[in-house]
Structure formats: C-alpha cells, structure tokens
Amino acid sequence: MTMLPLAHLSLFCLLLHVAAVDDGDDFANDLFTDLSPLLALFGERVTTQFMSQSIGLADCIILAMAPLGIVTIIISAIRVGGPALMKAIIGRAIENLSAAEIEIMSSTSKEVCELWNGKTIEVNGRAPIHLAVMAKQQGVLDLLARDVDARDSREQTPLHLTIGQDSTILTELLLRLGASVDAKDWINQTPLHLATTRGLNDAVKLLIQAKADVNAEDTERQKPLHNAVKWGDEGTVRLLIDAGAEVDVKGQFDQTPLHLAAERGYSDVVRLLIDEKVDVNARDWGEMVELLVNVGVDVNAVCEEHGHTAMHHVAKKGMADVASVMLAKDRKSLKIKDKSGNLPVHYLDSPASEVMFSMFVAAGGDKDATDSCGRTLIHRISRGGGSNATEFDMFLVRQGVRVDLRDKEGHTAEDYARRLPELKDLADCLREAMERNRDEQTRHEQGEGEESGHEQR
C-alpha cells in the first residue's frame, strides 16, 4: 500500500468523529483546532497533496473544514465545498479576523475572485464587491467590476462603503469602473451626503468631478450642503457652493444652511454664506444670532413651528452676551410672545439667569409679566421646583417682583412652593415677603389718607 492511499484512509478515520458531530452548517467554526491532530501526524505537505486530489466524500468532509491559511489550499477547498464553504470562510474572517481565513479576504488571486464573481456569494447581506471594499483590496475590485453597483442590506453600494472607509483610492477606482455616483441608500442618501457629513473633501472633489448631484435630497429633506454646514468645514461648504449647491434651500424643520451655521456658532461658515447673498431673514430658531446681528439680520423674526424669536432661545440658554448685542439693536423682542404665550423673560429659570433678568428689566421689560396661564416668572420657578428654585426666587424678591399676584387658577407663588417639601423654606420666605408688602401697602394707604385729610381741612 502506498503512502498516499494510507494517508487518505488515516485522515478519513480520524475525521469520522468530527463529521459525526458537525452538521455542516458552520464549516468555518474552530477549523484550525479540528485539524491540528492531522497536521501533527502528516504535516502540511501530505494535507496539501491530499487536497489537490480531492474528489470523494471523505475529501469533501475534510475540505469543508480545512482553510489552513494557504491560498492554494483555500482555492481547492472552495472548488469542492462550493459557495457554502466560501461564505463560511468569509463570514469567519469578518467576524474574527483570524489569520487563516483572512487570506481569502486579502487574496488578489484571479481564481479566488472568479469564484466570488461566479457564485454570487453574499455574507451578512453583502456581495463580494462590498467585502472587497471593506478589506480595501484594489486588485479584487478590478476583477469584481460587474457588481460595481451591487446593493447590501441597507441599499448601499460599494461607493457608499468607500466613503465610510475614507479610501480615496477605492473611490476613484469605483468611479472609473462606472459606479453610479448618485446611487441612493435606504434613507435616500447619496455618497456625496456621506462625504459631506464627515468633511471628506478629497472624496467630495472626486464625486463633484464625476457630476454628482449637489442638491440631492434625503428622506429628511437634508442636502449635502446641510450636512457640510453641520460639520462646520468651510472648505466643504465652498466646494459645494462652487459646484452649484442652493444656499437658501430649506431642510428638516425648514432650516436653511445659514440657520444651522448660526445655531452652531460657525462664524466662518456664516460669513461665507452671507457673502453668497443668502436670505438672512429666513425664519428659524437661531441660538447664535449674535453672529448675524451685525449683518442686518431681523432679530425679531419668528419661528413658524413654535413662534419663538431668537431672544426666546437666548433666554433659554442664558446667553447674556448675545442678549446684550440684540437689545442694543432692538428691544421689541422682549414683548413678543411665542405660541405658548410666553415672553423671553419666562424662560429664565436659574441663578445663572440673574444677569439677564436685570438686563431685561433695564431694557424696559415687565418683571411681573404673565404668561397665558396668568403666571409670572416667580410663579413658574416656584411651581417647577428644583435645586435652584429657592436661590433664584429670593433674587426675584430682592428685585421687587410682586409675590401676592394670583394666576388664573387663583394660586400665588407661595401656594406652589408649599406643594413641594424641598421648597418649604422658600414658601416661608415668600410668606414673609407677602406680609412685608402688605404692611408697606397698608402704611402707604394710611399715609395717603392722612395727607388727604390735611388737604380737606
């Protein structure tokens, strides 16, 4: 008996136990461990020879479990095991990045690539060309060109994935192979959307050169320029504008690129957009209006969604420096109510807002102004509670706000404070303040009465 048939028989016997417990569904599970006794007995040379001559049932069992990290062996195994084996090998390579299986991912062998192309193998919803992009294998891509616009489970093409990989070389190659530059994924985002979201200017340039639609819209009405402005990269914004992007286009919540730039405080982008003659009076919730006041923005513009002016937002954020700039230009915003019936002063809610409260009052604001429920600021703070309520309410008392006013439900600020155990001290202070005010009012009325009596005499 020759050595090779004996090797066949021995290998088959040693694998009977493995074959009995393995249903074949996961060919790539712990392969190296399963084959270690065979390698120890016969070595790689005998195993390689055996694989190169594989034609029988025993051979299929062995080859279904035998990617040993040698490209020639993998090719032989795939020819016998078919698409299921290749899928298992690639799946394990992606999941574990093990040395043996990763060779199938990184191989530029023409035979391997042709097998991929011919079997339409998918792993985790991705075709071979997607896997090649993820492994950044330029040579493999050349051989997989016919699948250049293949879709994965998220409707993304290889061109979408190259943006995610930040690979300019692969992006350029896919475009040269004829990839659709405006392909849309499951949320209608094109590769240009993805590139502008991350400020990948080299990719943006390549896509624009390939005639990408710079005004493509995704499911949330966002266009590449919106994404670029959110990222804050002036270079990306300039590339899109030069390519014909619409600068006044409205996206989600009717926000324009200028709104987004002002909201995030990107002064360079704001100036760039203004230079492009954008509509600086487009309505929205710009928190960073300080950047726009000096170029003639309407600081009293009202947001259509909630009826907020910029001053409402500035009050919410406690941005005293911005409020100062706005009030120096126009004080009308202090008297504009939003759709909930609230003035800017009603959004002051912490000790950090003390400066802004004083600023509002000095600019002509009513310190006892009521909202749609008849509540003043001190009502709102007492009703809301919180760790800062006592400190801020006592500040308001020192500023002379009225603590005796009742809202439309007939409650005073003290009534609301009494409901919260943690505000007991505040409630007591408000009670004392009410009594002092009542005494002062009584003395004032008595004084007026005495003065009137003297006049009558």
Give the tens place of pLDDT for each residue, 64-116: 444 333 344 444 444 444 445 455 545 544 444 444 444 444 443 444 444 44
Any residues with CB less than 8 A from the CB of 306 and at least 6 apart, and which?
Answer: 285, 338, 339, 340
Per the DSSP assignment, residues forming a β-bridge with 123 are 126
Model pLDDT, residue 437: 77
Residues of the chain with CATH 1.25.40.20: 283-360, 367-457
**CATH of the domain spanning 367-457, picked from 1.10.10.10, 1.25.40.20, 3.10.290.10, 1.10.3720.10:** 1.25.40.20
Q: How far apart are CA 108 and CA 133, in angstroms?
A: 13
Q: What angle do CA 332, 333, 338 make, to 5 degrees?
A: 130
Model pLDDT, residue 273: 76
pLDDT for 285 beyond 50: no
Average pLDDT over residues 250-262: 80
pLDDT for 204 beyond 90: yes
Token pair for 331: 């004080």
Contact 97, 105 (CB under 8 A): no
Superfamily of the domain at 283-360: Ankyrin repeat-containing domain (1.25.40.20)
The model's pLDDT over 347-368, given as tens digits with 9 standing for 90+, comes to: 998 777 899 999 999 999 999 9
Average pLDDT over residues 428-454: 71
* DSSP assignment string, 187-203: T---HHHHHHHTT-HHH
Token pair for 152: 């994965």
Which burial class, exposed, middle or buried, applies to 195 when counting CB atoms under 10 A from its CB (0-12, 13-18, 19+)? buried
* DSSP assignment string, 160-221: HHHHHHT-HHHHHHHHHTT--TT---TT---HHHHHHHTT-HHHHHHHHHTT--TT---TTS
Contact 112, 74 (CB under 8 A): yes
Provide the pLDDT confidence category of residue 278 given band limits of 50, 70 and 90. low
Residue of 340 and 277 predicted with greater confidence:
340
Model pLDDT, residue 406: 95
- The structure's pTM equals 0.41
The model's pLDDT over 20-66, given as tens digits with 9 standing for 90+, comes to: 444 433 333 334 344 444 444 444 444 444 444 433 444 444 444 44
The model's pLDDT over 121-159, given as tens digits with 9 standing for 90+, comes to: 443 444 444 444 444 444 444 444 556 787 877 888 888
